[in-house]
Amino acid sequence: MTECTHTKHVPGYWQDRADHDPEEWECGGYDLGPHEYIEGYDEQTVVDIDTHRYKCTQCNKVFYYSERARQMYEGAEE
């Protein structure tokens, strides 16, 4: 996606299951329980800043979704 490789680690966490059925859980049926564990992962630290642009929140470098967008924002001529 970008030449910036900054990431942040999101630690593992427990999340409620939206499809949990307590009755099915009680009788030992197919329900997987009220919670599931989401493993930790690394995610990029880029955020959208406006139309056609985004930036890294760690190095503040601005990126463009297309060459045309870069030309529009930077006023570059072909």
For the residues of 2-71, what is the DSSP string, one character each?
A: -S---EEEE--EEEE-TT--HHHHHTT-S---SEEEEPPEEEE-EEEEETTEEEETTT--EEESSHHHHH
| pLDDT value, residue 2 | 58
Would residue 68 count as lying in a domain?
Answer: yes
Number of domains present in the structure of the chain:
1
Domain that holds residue 64: 7-74
**Between 12 and 75, whose confidence is greater?**
12
Q: Which two tokens stand for residue 70?
A: 């870069």
Would residue 1 count as lying in a domain?
Answer: no
Q: Is the dihedral of CA 43, 45, 46, 48 positive or negative?
A: positive
The model's pLDDT over 20-58, given as tens digits with 9 standing for 90+, comes to: 999 998 898 888 899 999 999 999 999 999 989 999 999
What integer is the mean pLDDT of 1-26? 90
Percent of the chain with pLDDT over 90: 67
> Using CA atoms, how far apart are residues 73 and 26, in angstroms rounded to an integer?
59
Would residue 2 count as lying in a domain?
Answer: no
| pLDDT value, residue 3 | 79
Would residue 40 count as lying in a domain?
Answer: yes
| pLDDT value, residue 77 | 56
